[in-house]
Chain A
């Protein structure tokens, strides 16, 4: 035992005596203190007690420091309440002797040195021990550089440890043993014997056996993978079409088509009933080669007389050709029912009525009929032809009621939409004529006569527009002639029957003019058009105005006089335009034969492009009340479509192609030049280049 040890032991003995003095009920067994003390944290205390009391030599201190480091490591593992307080020491886990000669111990957070408390010298500590009766409880903690006062609880634990008992009084280390195992009815006792050694060492005999096998394999005495026995027989007529069996051939297996099994008729000596008569054999010659029977049964007296197969060589050659020319590959074919790809459309039957058959023809013109127009009530139809004639026909009978000779090829014709104003607007050459048809009753006739009267040539009252158009009384047919500067292509009425518009495709800034019949006034509201105008139409309900140029369709608001929309059909050359009576849908026909349906609320792009005519579309038309629209083309046909526009804005228009109307004949490469619906019946009028107007009825 080193001297220091003995010294501290002595000190602790002294201290213990003092404790005994204070608490005489605890017996002091000094002899055991040292042995138990260095095991638990209490040993630290006892050490600390020792060190705080005794002055030490440097060697002792060094040893104590080492001791301290070890103890602190163990104390960290413990869960005593003291450790939960953060250590005040900032030096970390370094030996304290590094700071032995320093004034400070570690640094605080601001980087300043933490100064060591001034050590009490021995006299001070002695005096303190004399003054304070509880001073013996205080221990100096060198690591944290502070004095710690032991509580009564801690001292009690120390005492118990000194006496060699468990630190806590409530723990009973010698509790009676509870035998939990049920020993009854057990045949054998559970052996507590350790595992024998032989269990852990490899068997010598097994090793010998393995060596034996290895040698046998090496010598080839033992063989693996016995060769599979080929079955000596196989099913000749078996079904080799099952793909699973033939998988192992590697390539994807295509079963060869099964030939029919041979029957009686293929026998060399079949019964009489199998042998065809000569007539039948002759009749085979009349059949198609593919339909002829491949094998004609014949009769031979014996098998000897059966000749060689005459086609053997040819068929062998064919087979070789097949193998050479037709690699047997599997074509990946997608099996889709073509019907399923078709869009679901309602059947045509449900969409009746629509124009179907031509029952009436209106014959009388001697040139291509350029334009037709039907009176609002549907009783009369007017037509204009390149032979310079304007005719009025009775729809019901096909009777020509009246003829005007305009003298120039009529381009376009339009009936005034008011039933009480049966006036025709006819564009021919540079002129637009307003003709009095004389169909109204006496009172209306008077009114029309007044309306169609111009006193003098109205000129120079409004510079610009007057120079574009002059209103002149027509002498021959009581009416008005509007003389334009350029050729007028179309003339269209406003729904109220007072305004009408004319289009001069080559009129530049004056291409589109709006005329007022009651005031005999002409206005030119739209001056700037990028492309040559084709036609102009009024909106059926609102003050909008549609001008179709060759490239696009422009929609103007006439009340504000500005462009509100531009529809882009994306077609090569627009030829015609029609507005749905609801006013929100527009169809545009083009010279390349395509037709576009625009939903004005949707976008300026077409809602749908419709099947193409092989030739130019000459006109498109909507029905006023039935959900029908039509297009006519130079290919001598007119297409009729079902075009349902729903009042529900969320529902897109339903478009179903219904019928292709044939009947017109081509003349000079032109086919059907105009098509118009009857205003009240689901009937379509078509005007052809063959100078006939046809009426298609439902």
Chain B
């Protein structure tokens, strides 16, 4: 009976033509094929792989993802066509792309305490912040070359400042901590080290009256903004001020944690303060030269004009927000996650609506990190307290991939080198999942 039914089913076929934007070795002939309509993504992938194998015998099988009318196929083709109301009579144009999934799991970078901040904006190293008060530089994602010490509380935010510098390997980073301070660090990534080099901050910002929660550096690289539990956002100059003769603020500081330390460090003051949030500013993003986005526990997302310090746009979403990123289509979509398991994406260009344009709800706990892919308009990642990092594509409501390597809460996550996902969590490990083809 089943066999009969099966034959009935297979007799239904759809004519498809495969197209792709991938480079030539992965292109299949554009002739149309008749494929059984009950094929799902896996079956389609198999067909494409076989076609490629026919063309090149040395070809290694690899998974593909399929797009029909700008939507990823996530169910049997027949069902998909029915759901989308696409006629099965015509030749179906299917575009295939590389499946987005981590292919390789690198060795985790071990920390002494919870990894609370990570920045992978520089392809040559990873910056992590840790609850033991130290920030670390991991060169190539494997070796810890520098330990940035000086914070007396847990480092909660870290950001690489993309400054154009005279020397190639000199980098600036900024970290924020629960000890209410921001520190700027400078290190030379070029020097070869056997042991992790301990370096100290060259500049300290102490004006926040409560824990610093988030840091973002300006695209130009000469400013840093920080959001804090004291409900304010402060902007700071990155410049090394001894050149400017900013001698007034130079003073000897005695650190409470380490009385022996007598090193002279610069103290900076905030150039401006953006006031408006009513609660902890949990996340700040500085995507363009003149605009800062901020998310707060007062359930709002605000956009600020850097020049005037005024709020230019705000939106209330009803949940306490933990993370925020701006990117996607023409770098205008806002993605935010907060005190519920739903990742929401808004389009601030749409006037008069507060409804998110996308909602992804596969997580089961608070979302702690959400980042757009730097190049792709469609891809983003999210990390959650349920211990999972998920990769998302705007073209489907299901996660593309779930990275389940963390044993505890994931506190931070970022893209690295365009093809890796780095995530740090409460299990004191930084996981690097690489080989993601986008």
Contacts and interface: CB of A to CB of B under 8 A. Distances in A.
Interface of A: 352-353, 357, 359-360, 377-379, 396-399, 441-442, 680-681, 683, 697-698
Nearest to B319: A698
B210 A377 contact: yes
Contacts of B341: 359
A353 B316 CA distance: 13
B221 to A, nearest CB: 29
Contact of A399 (B131, B210, B319, B365): B131
A441 B114 CA distance: 23
Given A377-B229, A378-B279, A698-B319, A442 B339 contact: no
Contact of A379 (B210, B319, B322, B411): B210
A399 B408 CA distance: 12
A359 B318 contact: no
Contacts of A378: 279-280, 297
A698 B411 contact: no
B259 interface: no
Contacts of B248: none
A359 B279 contact: no
A377 B298 CA distance: 12
Given A353-B318, A379-B280, A359 B114 contact: no
Given A359-B385, A399-B131, A681 B339 contact: yes
B385 A379 contact: no
Contacts of A697: 320, 339-340, 366
B264 to A, nearest CB: 18
A400 to B, nearest CB: 11
Contacts of B30: none
Nearest to B363: A359
A698 B339 CA distance: 8
A359 B365 contact: yes
Given A360-B366, A697-B339, A397 B210 contact: no
B224 to A, nearest CB: 20
A398 B426 CA distance: 10
Interface residues of B, number: 28
Contacts of B409: 397-398
Interface in B355-390: 365-366, 385
B114 A399 contact: yes
Contact of A360 (B114, B280, B385): B385
7 contacts: A359-B385, A377-B210, A379-B229, A397-B114, A397-B426, A399-B114, A681-B297
A360 B386 CA distance: 10
A398 B339 CA distance: 13
B251 to A, nearest CB: 14
B243 interface: no
Contact of A680 (B116, B131, B297): B297
A379 B211 contact: yes
A698 B320 CA distance: 9
B366 A359 contact: yes
B209 interface: yes
B1 interface: no
A518 B303 CA distance: 44
Contact of B209 (A357, A359, A399, A441): A441
A680 B231 CA distance: 13
Nearest to A697: B339
Contacts of B320: 681, 697
Contacts of B298: 680
Nearest to A358: B365
A442 B180 CA distance: 10
B256 interface: yes
